[in-house]
Structure 1
Amino acid sequence: MLAQLIHTPRLQLIAATPTSLQAELEEPTRLSDYLRAELPADWPPGEYDRSACQHFFEQLQARGEAAAGWYGWYALYGNVSPSLVGCGGYFGPPDEDGRVEIGYSLSEHWRGQGFATEIVRALVGRIAGHAPVKRIVAHAHPENLASRKVLQRTGFRQMHPSDQEDACLFEYQPN
């Protein structure tokens, strides 16, 4: 089983659980209590919306322990009074071809400080040596230059074409 807690130089990433996701779905302040962290005013950030949270919750409920760590992750900054800066994660375990898709979103207040790069590196590092993982992909909207730069900085290369017409496909090849 892969780790459910990831430490980076500045962040602590905590794997979402059915309990954390249920709290978040019921009332975001309950998530703050669950994580013992300050929640940004714009939570949930970016494309991590209620439907994504609901999907992660349903998948973890249906798949049980085997799915732990293969969906959402909360990114906390600070040790004494941590702040939730964003989230990231996988769209599920590797498919039959060994493909895993990742995504990430940051609260607007925390953007431009390298946190997205740190989250992506941590997520890739967690699974890059995991035997069934042969290919890691991510999508970024063409106009989202910041997100595209994060993916390029973390070793992804842009591929063509994308299976999503409004996004660019990026791929990372683990060793």
Structure 2
Amino acid sequence: MVTPLDVPRLVAGDRFVLRPWEFGDLALVREASSDEHIPLITTVPSTYSQEAGEAFVRRQWERASAGSGYPFVIVRVEDGQPLGTVGLWLKDLNEGRASLGYWVVESARGQGVAAEALRAVAAWALGDLQIPRLQLYVEPWNIASRRTAERVGFQREGLLRSWQRVGEARRDMIMYSMLAVDLP
């Protein structure tokens, strides 16, 4: 029997909060749909419609209710604006590891949004949830995402050749990991 997960509200630094997805986040899904890369590597619809946006939000709820992970929306405290997402995925939890993924819409990039969110979820996962190992994957060309992972304290482990399908092609990924001893 699968235990549904309760996605908590987490504080991410002074400027952001992480919370569960809501239908009020459809403008975020719309902006992400128009991004050149986000729909290729996520379940964000590549063509936005109200129906497709709502289906995306429902999938996030289903992930938590099915026990597969914790999908968070990153929200700016100052104005309540949703800026992106970070997810903690538990597929390999019985092996003592979980994976993380994140994206931020173009209008919010370059402001430390992803780093603050990733830091908050990693600290919660390693501390409160006592997950021994966290890992994430970044395409080699994505310098900004690589810097985000490294700034938070993730350690680069190596290149995984032809690791993941992105769009229509197999792509290399750089694997990063974090253990509790890596927390700043």
Query: TM-score normalized by structure 2?
Result: 0.70
RMSD: 2.8
Distance 2:62 2:7 in 1: 21
Q: 1:73 to 1:174 in 2, by over 3 A?
A: same
2:62 to 58, 66, 71: 58
2:32 to 13, 25, 43: 43
Distance 1:82 1:131 in 2: 27
CA contact (8 A) 1:77 1:83 kept: yes
> Is 2:20 the counterpart of 1:15?
yes
Query: Could you say which residue in structure 2 is the equivalent of 1:151?
Result: 149
Q: 1:160 to 1:55 in 2, by over 3 A?
A: farther
Give the share of equivalent positions with the same residue, in percent. 22
Q: Equivalent residue of 1:166, what SS?
A: strand
Long gaps (5+) in structure 1: 24-29, 33-37
Deviation at 1:82, TM superposition (A): 1.4
Query: Could you say which residue in structure 2 is the equivalent of 1:27?
Result: none
Q: 1:146 to 1:91 in 2, by over 3 A?
A: same
CA contact (8 A) 1:98 1:132 kept: no
CA contact (8 A) 1:48 1:105 kept: no
Q: Equivalent residue of 1:59, what SS?
A: helix
Matched to 1:134, the amino acid is P
Deviation at 1:56, TM superposition (A): 3.6
Long gaps (5+) in structure 2: 46-55, 165-170
Deviation at 1:6, TM superposition (A): 0.8
CA contact (8 A) 2:90 2:98 kept: yes
CA contact (8 A) 1:86 1:104 kept: yes
Query: Could you say which residue in structure 1 is the equivalent of 2:116?
Result: 118
Higher strand fraction (1 or 2): 2
The count of corresponding residues between Structure 1 and Structure 2 is 153
Distance 1:103 1:5 in 2: 18
Q: 1:3 to 1:55 in 2, by over 3 A?
A: closer
Query: TM-score normalized by structure 1?
Result: 0.73
Query: Could you say which residue in structure 2 is the equivalent of 1:97?
Result: 95
User: What is the correspondence of 1:66-145 to structure 2 with a 5 Å cutoff?
Assistant: 70-79=69-78, 81-92=79-90, 95-130=93-128, 132-145=130-143
Matched to 1:119, the amino acid is A
